[in-house]
């Protein structure tokens, strides 16, 4: 899952948002609640203008890691 999240991050940095989102989704399917994938997914969705979906990812991250909020 960490490798998939890292790949997604690289794809997002390269401007390949749809591919990055698919990799973040795959990482989350394998490990629900994966912090880096939830955060990265939110960032990519924000960049795509899909702000409501991004907020869902950020909320899920906060719920997962409420002690660090």
Q: Mean pLDDT throughout 3-26?
A: 97
pLDDT at 37: 97
Pair of tokens at residue 36: 């880096």
Tens digits of per-residue pLDDT, 41-50? Answer: 999 999 999 9
pTM of the model: 0.91
What per-residue string of b and e applies to 8-23 under the rule 16 or more CB within 10 Å gives b? bbebbeeeebebbbeb
Q: Is pLDDT above 80 for 15?
A: yes
pLDDT at 68: 62
């Amino acid at each position: 899952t960490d490798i998939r999240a890292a790949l997604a991050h690289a794809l997002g940095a390269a401007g390949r948002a749809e591919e990055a989102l698919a990799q973040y989704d795959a990482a989350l399917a394998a490990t629900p609640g994966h912090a880096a994938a939830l955060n990265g997914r939110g960032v990519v969705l924000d960049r795509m203008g899909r702000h409501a979906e991004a907020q869902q990812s950020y909320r899920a991250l906060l719920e997962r890691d409420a002690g660090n909020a």
